Amino acid sequence: MGSARATRRSTGTLAAALLVAVLLGSGCGTDPDAGATRPAGTSPTATPAVEATATPSTGPAGPVPETLRFTGTTLDGARFDAATLAGRPVVLWFWAPWCATCASQAWTIAEIEPGFRETVPIVGIAGLGEHQAMTDFVTEFELGPMPQIEDRDGTLWRRFEVVEQSTFVIIDRDGRVIHQGWLDGEDLTRQLTALAAGSAGG
């Protein structure tokens, strides 16, 4: 009645006040367009929660280190922003669809990845192959729930100076690369377990 809104409207009727309340309330729901693709230069702080389907987190958990200042597109066409992983240790797995070594590791990764998804996300970065071969690889080894970035032009491979596959780049919670190179399934599991324990301990 004596509110600033009431003084701005031409009428003070109850019907008008109810209409305003309804219109204001409609903005509190989920935005149906929140998942629309944005230009590559969009700031990580503008990344909506709906992109959690492409990344394991809804937003940065801390300052974004230089190592996680990159974006990409997953094999299923979703936008991926690595800044959403900040504040947690991360494993980047560089693989190629024709690589026998990568294939031998894929089953292990598919098995252990779900258990570390929230504490130490594993992100696949597929290169040196065609899109169809990459998607066939993901399907065959049941890697679908894990983010898989398509890097056919080698942008991320060059960024991290990866020269062979299979290569694991392990980034700690502060953004430092603490391992780059080969890991067998046992070593990978050991590293993930230690990182998860350290992350949980704060």
Per-residue pLDDT 10s for the chain (202 aa) are 444 334 333 333 333 333 333 333 333 333 323 333 333 333 333 333 223 334 444 455 568 999 999 999 999 999 999 999 999 999 999 999 999 999 999 999 999 999 999 999 999 999 999 999 999 999 999 998 999 999 999 999 999 999 999 999 999 999 999 999 999 999 999 999 999 998 765 5
Q: The domain spanning residue 173 has which CATH number?
A: 3.40.30.10
Residue 73 lies in a domain: yes
Number of Cβ within 10 Å of residue 41's Cβ equals 6
Q: Which domain holds residue 90?
A: 50-200
77 sits in the region (left: phi over 0; alpha: psi -120 to 50; else beta) called: left
Domains: count for the chain: 1
Residue 57 lies in a domain: yes
Residue 37 lies in a domain: no
Residue 86 lies in a domain: yes
- Residue 177 CA to residue 168 CA, distance in Å, equals 10
Residue 75 lies in a domain: yes
Q: Is 57 within 8 Å of 21 (Cβ atoms)?
A: no
Q: What is the pLDDT of residue 109?
A: 97
